Amino acid sequence: MPTKSSDPVFQLIKSLTQSEKRHFRLFTNRQGSTDGLKFLQLFDAFDAQEQPDEERVLTQVPALKRAQLANLKANLYKQLLGSLRIYHAGQNIDIQLHEQLDYARVLYNKGFYQQSLRMLARVKLAAQQAEMPHVALLAIDFEKLIESQYITRSLQGRAESLAAEATATAAHLSQQHALSNASLRLYGLYLQAGHARNQADHERFTAYFRAHLPAQLGRASGFWEKLYFYQAHVWYHTINQDFRSCYRYAQKWVDLFEQAPHLKESQTMLYIKGLHNVLASLFNMLYYSRFMEVLQTLEDFAANQTRRATPNTEILLFQYIWTNRLNACFMEARFTEGVEIIPELLEQLGQYKAQLDLHRTLVFYYKIACLYFGSGSYQQAIKYLNRIIEHKDLSLREDLQCFARILNLVAHFEAGQDAELEYQVRSVYHFLAKMDDQQPMQVEVFRFLRRVGHAAPSQLRDEFVRLKARLEEIAAQPFDRRPFLYFDIISWLESKISGRTVQEVMQQKFLTLK
């Protein structure tokens, strides 16, 4: 029976490029003939399969015994990682620096203390230039070990200078870790809860933010301290829906990389994530012209043939480019055209789905559903909303789960599925009761949908007008406007009142933004 496709050895093999496979064979042959290397036979057998099937491997390669398989897979995994480490060392300064630290240890063990110190000095300088204080501190600690145990006759005052270096580097690292912890926790809060739902949420997030971040950074702060400081502000202002401040700090994040091109090359993922956060802020601000400029910057970066490409960067570029292409469709209200690009998106989503986190996949489903809803394809919208609703783990994006259900209710109403509407309303009420997340917008929509099920056709327009007026009041409140970021229900109501499509209403609004 085939084993699960999540087998780490099989996944790693299938991720290899042809060049990486050639290097692996050369790597395994470094000590002579590869004849009889069973882990290489296992590699060839797995490489030929579409899905991992250990029973088939044992049948095709009689030399492999079932009792050996676990150890062979472990050895193959180790050999693959060793090969990849060497193959990618030239593109990863941290791998190179750790390798040189290992060489310094070898020289030290052989008794060549001066040679070891010279190598450590080079490692320390390179690490400082690459903004890697953690590696620099490892080199400094090793220098201190050598200087404290042996008479190396190095420069006078060496003890004092090493102590000062260690203290300064450790201080930078301490602040860096404090800022990165605060940034990570704020990001985690955003993934779990989305935007602040009320004043209590705002005060809780603000108390944490102020307790863990300084009001400003010191002049001596390094690249990483600045980056984590800006990131924490981005997450905090995003949670509180202060998108202008979010844009300001996201732009500082990007500018930090523009001022250090070598780090843009070595930390590509963080650079493009900064661009994505600039785009997200501009989208929420409805700043269309600047949004398109930054999107073009991201597209140009992805198309640059000279940039460094890795599977990680390609996955992120897919996420961010497609997310913002869809957002451009929403801003321009090009729902019908947007639907036409969905097949290409789904094809690429299938290619990357194993590497994508669940949060990103759910967001794509929601955006696809919104495109279908805007184009009038309500059944298709319901199909993708159900993919979100059917997901039972509520630890990620409770807000997305909530608003998927809201849009699902409206889609059922538009599709004329009155028989299911009452059931859907009850189902959503039960869901929100568990989440303790009933907001004014949701309550008004539920009341409306319950009423219209019994209203005469001649009364519908008045019901739409009444709901629109009430929702406009709610949208004016700072914490109650959160639901409108997920679904422009006011434009939908305007379409019902005026007899136009949602697309026509939103296109008219877009013309006023340009």
**pLDDT range class, residue 53, cuts 50, 70, 90:** confident
Which CA distances in Å does 144 have to 71, 113, 124, 166, 264?
41, 12, 13, 9, 33
Percent of the chain whose predicted confidence (pLDDT) is above 90: 41
The pLDDT tens digits for 178-228 are 999 999 998 888 877 777 878 888 898 899 899 888 888 888 888 999 999
Which domain, by its residues, includes 145?
A: 97-152
pLDDT value, residue 1: 35
What is the C-alpha to C-alpha distance for residues 408 and 404, in angstroms, rounded to an integer? 6
What region, left, alpha or beta, does residue 416 occupy, with left being phi > 0 and alpha being psi -120 to 50 degrees? left
CA dist 440 and 390 (Å) reads 25
* pLDDT value of position 3: 40
The CA distance from 294 to 300, in Å, is 10
Q: Is residue 108 part of a domain?
A: yes
Mean pLDDT of 310-318: 90
Residues 105, 125, single domain; the answer is: yes
**Domain annotation covers residue 473:** no
- Both 101 and 83 in one domain: the answer is no
Residue 115 lies in a domain: yes
Entry pTM: 0.80
pLDDT band at 367 (very low <50, low <70, confident <90, very high): very high
Q: Which pLDDT score, from 0 to 100, does residue 156 have?
A: 60
- Identify whether residues 80 and 123 lie together within a single domain: no
Q: What is the mean pLDDT of the chain?
A: 86
Residue 81 shares a structural domain with residue 18: yes
* CA-closest candidate to residue 27, choices 70, 101, 73, 88: 88
As a whole number of angstroms, the distance between CA 146 and CA 89 comes to 27
Q: For residues 359-371, give the mean pLDDT.
A: 92
pLDDT in tens, 284-305: 999 999 999 999 999 999 999 8
262 and 91 in contact (C-beta within 8 Å)?
A: no
Residue 2 has pLDDT above 50, yes or no: no
* 17 and 75 co-located in one domain: yes
CA distances from 280 to 44, 195, 250, 287, 327 (A): 45, 14, 10, 10, 9
Domain boundary among 111, 131, 152: 152
Residues 56 and 26 occupy one common structural domain: yes
Domain assignment present for 55: yes
- 52, 81: one domain: yes
Instruction: Please indicate, yes or no, whether residues 22 and 83 belong to a single structural domain of this protein.
Output: yes
Residue 124: is its pLDDT beyond 60?
A: yes
Confidence of residue 438 (pLDDT cuts 50, 70, 90): low
The DSSP secondary-structure symbol of 4 reads P
Domain presence at residue 480: no
What is the mean predicted confidence (pLDDT) over 441-463?
A: 76
Lowest mean pLDDT among 74-83, 92-101, 382-391, 450-459: 450-459
| Mean per-residue pLDDT, 37-53 | 87
Q: Work out the burial of residue 228: count CB atoms within 10 Å of its CB; fewer than 13 is exposed, 13-18 middle, 19 or more buried.
A: buried
DSSP string over 205-264:
HHHHHHHHS-SS--TT--HHHHHHHHHHHHHHHHHTT-HHHHHHHHHHHHHHHHT-HHHH
In the chain, the number of structural domains is 2
Those residues whose C-beta lies under 8 Å from the C-beta of residue 413, and which sit 6 or more positions away, are 421, 449, 452
Tell whether the model's pLDDT for residue 317 goes beyond 50.
Answer: yes
204 occurs within a structural domain: no
pLDDT per position as a tens digit, 247-288: 999 999 999 999 998 888 888 999 999 999 999 999 999 999
Domain end point (choices 152, 177, 193) = 152
Tokens of 92: 């990863």
78 lies in the same domain as 17: yes
**CA–CA distance, 127 with 114 (Å, rounded to integer):** 20
DSSP string for 91-150: G-HHHHHHHHHHHHHHHHHTT-HHHHHHHHHHHHHHHHHTT-HHHHHHHHHHHHHHHHHS
151 has a pLDDT exceeding 90: no
Tokens of 418: 């009155």
Residues 109 and 79 in one domain: no
Top pLDDT among 385 and 396 is at 385
pLDDT of 153 strictly over 90: no
Spacing of C-alpha 357 from chain mean position: 8
114: in domain? yes
Q: Are 453 and 464 in contact (CB under 8 A)?
A: no
- Report the pLDDT value the prediction gives residue 404, as an integer from 0 to 100: 86
Contact 281, 242 (CB under 8 A): no
Shared domain check, 122 and 58? no
Q: Average pLDDT in the 474-500 region?
A: 83
More confident residue, 320 or 214: 320
Q: Which residue do the tokens 């992120």 mark? A: 316
73 occurs within a structural domain: yes
Is residue 30 located within the same domain as residue 77?
yes
Domain boundary among 111, 129, 152: 152
